[in-house]
Structure formats: C-alpha cells, structure tokens
Amino acid sequence: MAAYYVTTPIYYVNDAPHIGHAYTTTAGDVLTRWRRQRGDDVLFLTGVDEHGTKVQRAAEAGGVSPQEWVDRLVRDSWRPVLETIDAANDDFIRTTEPRHTERVQRFWEVVRDNGYVYEADYEGPYCVGCEEFKLPGDLQLPEDGGEPLCPVHGRPVEMVKEKNWFFQLSEFTDALIAHYEANPQAVEPASAYNEVMAFLRGGLVDISMSRSSVAWGISLPWDERQVIYVWFDALLNYATAVGYGASQGTPDAELFAQAWPADVHLVGKDILRFHAVYWPAMLLAAGLPLPRKVFAHGWLLVGGEKMSKTRLTGIAPEHITDHFGSDAFRYYFMRAIQFGQDGSFSWEDMSARYTAELANGLGNLASRATAMVQRYRDGSLPASGPATEAEQTLIDLLAEVAPRADAAMGALDFSGGIAEVRRFIDAVNLYVTEQEPWVLAKDEALAERLDTVLATVCEALRAIAVLYNPVMPKAMGQLWEQLGAEPALGPIAGQRVGEVARWGQLPTGVAVTKGAALFPRLEEPAE
C-alpha cells in the first residue's frame, strides 16, 4: 500500500528548540494520528538540519567542533522535545548521517549529468539567519538610510563574493507555473499559493548551489573545495530519508517507491519559496515526481514579531508542558490558532482555555459520568432503554460532526476539526444538565431512564475519546481506560474515524471507573 507521507521542516541545530518548532511538529503529529485512525498507512518524518554557516558559527561561539555541537544538541534537546510533545514520528533524519550525505551527492551528480549545473561567479547579499541568498526585492531598507536588513531576522545581511556552482533554476519557471496552474491544491493556503505564483511569474534566476567559503557541509562530489549550499542539502532530506538513491532491489529502494512523492510538506511561511519553488525545480531537474502539497502555516508571534532565538523571544516547549502537560500543549496550539495564520501565545489565554474547555468542559463531563456509573450502578455500564428525542439529538449530532471533523482535519484545518468535536461536547454537557441524572437516581421508578442517560453519556464519551485521540493521546488513552473500552473494543488508536458515529459500540456491562482527573486543576499560576 502506498504510504501517506508527512514531513516537517528539518530544524537548524544552532540552538535548542522553541515552541515555534514544536508547533510544526505537533501539527504533523496530529495529522499523522488522524490519518492513522482513518486507516491510512502513514509515514511521519522530522529531523534536523545540521550544516551551514549558522550552525558552524554557533559551534565556534560554543568553543567546540560543529560535529560535537550538533551531537550534543540533538541528544540533549532535539530528540527529547519529541517526547515532550508526544510526537509519534516514524523516523528522525540528521543531515550528517551517511544515508543522507551520500545520497545528496548522488542527487547532484544526476542533476549535473542532466545539464543543469554550471560554474560562475556570484556576488550578492546573504542572510545567515535564513541561510539564503537574498534578491533585491527581498530586503528591508531602514528609513534612516542604514544598511539593508533581512525582514525575517531584522539584521543586516552580509555581502558574499564567490566562484560557485550554479543550479539552472531559470529553466523551470514555465514548468512550475504550468504545474501549479494544473494543481492549485499543491500550495496552500491560498495566500501562499498566490505568493508562489507571483514569484514564479516574475521569472526565476539561476541560483548558487555550492559555497566555497563555508567548510561545514557536504562536499561537492566533483569539486572537493566546495560544499553544497545548505538548503540544497537540507531539502533533499525528504527524499534521502525514504531511500532516494538506494540501490535497486534493496528495502530502501522499495520504501522510496512507496513513499515518494510526499503527500504533505508542512512548513512555516518563511520557508515557502524553498519548498514550493526551489525544491520542485530540483526534483524536475532530477526527473522525480513533485510533492502533492506544501502547506505554509503562520508564525507564532511575540510582541507582533516572529518568535525566534535570534530575537531572544523563544519559549522552550517544556516550559509549557511542565505546567499544562503535553496534551494541553497540543490542544492549545491546534485549537487557538487557525493553521495557516499567525497567532500569539499567551499564558493567560492558555490558562483560560485549559480551564474552560479542558478541565471544566471535557474533564468535568468525564469525571461526572464515570463517577455516576460507579456510584449508581456499581461501575457496570447499564443497558440503554429506548432513545427519546434528547438521545436522538445527540446521536444525530454525532453523525453530523464526525464527517465534518474528518473533512476539516483532512484539509489541515485543525481548529475547525476541534471545533466540531467541541460542539458535540457542549451538547453532551447540556444533555447531562437537562436530564439531571442525580435527580433520576433518587427515584427507583426512574431507574430505566437513569440507565439510558448513563449509557448515553458514556457512549458519547467513547466517540469523543476517539475523535480527540489524535490531538490529546495521553488523556484520551486515560479516558478509554476509565470507560472500560479497551477489552471490548481494542486499543483507542485502532478505532476508525469512519466508524465513530455508529451508536452503541460500548457494550453493556463494561467496567467503568472514575480514575484521576484528565485535566487536573492548575494549582499555581503559570510562570
């Protein structure tokens, strides 16, 4: 079966990760878990970008070799952050690994053999923060007439003059325009698509693909004095990780056949041009199929500007997860920011949503329901009597919400998908308030009605657990256990989105327990 292949950018290891990096990985992970629950065979790749001037300088400043620098940061920070946010990635690629470096060299040999590489002089501005040769229109000219600045980093660019090898990017202008005209869904959201089309219509110019003044990189196979420009090494990770360039008949070659082209490259909007212009041009030059989609999400902002280490505004993910837990971290960023737009993080907003939507909204519903089954029915799920209009409303709403959540998640509209589930949770909470099971419990004559209400709420919680599992796997795993669902229905991750609205799956008699609170109340204030 062809794999559904999702990637994040590979992050620079000049420093430790901040929540901007964790944001993209979280989105990739939520998408991965959702697609798995749709029954897809998903391959989720993330990793790190270890070469280039930025990393080299960070290592120099730290007084160690670049290899020691990256080894330490990858071990102490970049791998652990995956656990911090509960990412279920299948692979983690490092660009210093031989599987990558060898295949990158092979790739550029192919492109050169195909006639798209030549030697020439380069002179122009370079931003080390972006690791990018800037074009005249890219720079910000300060009003006081000072040096031109990189608009992303707010720092002066450096002038570079080198004899380099060039990639004949200009050859691909028309082919890329035609490709995107025929496949408008290949760059999303629409604002990103328009930006890419405008850039392409302006015409592409050839770009340097090697550096002679940089030492930390993959050497050019035909010119050992130069290293491959870091972006033209890094972009290839998406292909090398799944076996591009492996010998025919090997498992890696088979993996490449199944995984390529990638289904979604998730990227921040700052690196859209690399992914939607340079990368597909490279692939065309090598005769490889193009990725199905590049999705550019917005920035996490601090004080209206992109959160970044360069600006000293980065917040470490564990700073948030230590207080709120990984589920709330994942929920908050997917819920509060429309994927594709910028958003700001604030402790106040996060605390408010945690309390209202998770602790009070869902957590309270789960603890009330499980506690009542325990108290009124000795922890054994009662059989439902006939559904009245109140139950039917919930059954119908679930049948409406589940496919809508699926469509939203499939379109990478994570907040839209979550909103659908919230709509259902609100309705279930309202149902409990209106049915007043604590009142029914006082009258033996209403025992059957109480059975129905308890069974209905637990069945609704079953569906909520399944739909929220991709977003909050820890808490929903806990809820699954409290509902006694696993022995009857199997593991939660094996539950299918397409089946979730089928009512009455949680069997009568399962052991329901009131366990620990899914979203404990916050005790001390954040910070």
* Residues carrying an active site annotation: 18, 21, 127, 130, 150, 153, 306, 309
The residues in 73-112 that bind ligand MSP, with binding defined as CB under 6 A, are: none
DSSP assignment of 421-450 equals HHHHHHHHHHHHHHH-HHHHTT-GGGHHHH
∠ CA 24-25-28 to the nearest 5 degrees? 90
Minimum distance from residue 90 beta carbon to ligand MSP (Å): 17
Please identify which residue in 4, 11, 69, 468 interacts with ligand MSP, judged by CB under 6 A. Answer: 11
Chosen residue from 81, 235, 421, 476 binding ligand MSP by CB under 6 A? 235
Tell me which of 157, 242, 285, 300 binds ligand MSP, using CB under 6 A: 300
Give 10 or 418: the residue with its C-beta nearer to ligand MSP.
Answer: 10
Residue 232 interacts with ligand MSP (CB under 6 A): yes or no: no
Does 306 bind ligand MSP (CB under 6 A)? Our answer is yes
d(CA 512, CA 503): 18
C-alpha distances in angstroms, 231 versus 2, 83, 443, 481? 28, 27, 71, 46
307 scored as a contact of ligand MSP (CB under 6 A): yes
Q: Least Å distance between CB 436 and ligand MSP?
A: 46
Select from 346, 493, 480, 474 the least CA-distant residue to 83.
Answer: 474
Query: CB-wise, 208 or 308, nearer to ligand MSP?
Result: 308
53 binds ligand MSP (CB under 6 A): no
**Contact region for ligand MSP (CB under 6 A) — 72-80, 103-111, 233-241, 349-357?**
233-241
Parallel, antiparallel, or unpaired: how do β-strands 187-188 and 149-150 relate? unpaired
User: From its phi and psi, is residue 484 left (phi > 0), alpha (psi between -120 and 50) or beta?
Assistant: left
Pairing of strands 158-167, 207-208: antiparallel
Q: Is residue 9 a contact point for ligand MSP (CB under 6 A)?
A: yes
Q: What are phi and psi of 118, to 5 degrees?
A: -145, 165
- Peptide bond connecting 156 to the previous residue in cis, omega within 30 degrees of 0: no
User: Which one of residues 234, 286, 366, 450 is an interface residue with ligand MSP (CB under 6 A)?
Assistant: 234
DSSP β-ladder status, 4-12 and 42-49: parallel
Per-position x/- string for 252-291, each x denoting binding to ligand MSP as judged by CB under 6 A, each - no binding: ---------------xx-xx--------------------
Is position 20 an interface residue for ligand MSP (rule: CB under 6 A)?
yes
Residue with tokens 């564990």: 318
Query: Quick check: bond before 261 cis, omega within 30?
Result: yes
Stretch that binds ligand MSP, among 19-27, 112-120, 284-292, 325-333 (CB under 6 A): 19-27
Residues that bind ligand MSP (CB under 6 A): 9-12, 20-21, 23-24, 49, 234-235, 237, 267-268, 270-271, 299-300, 306-308
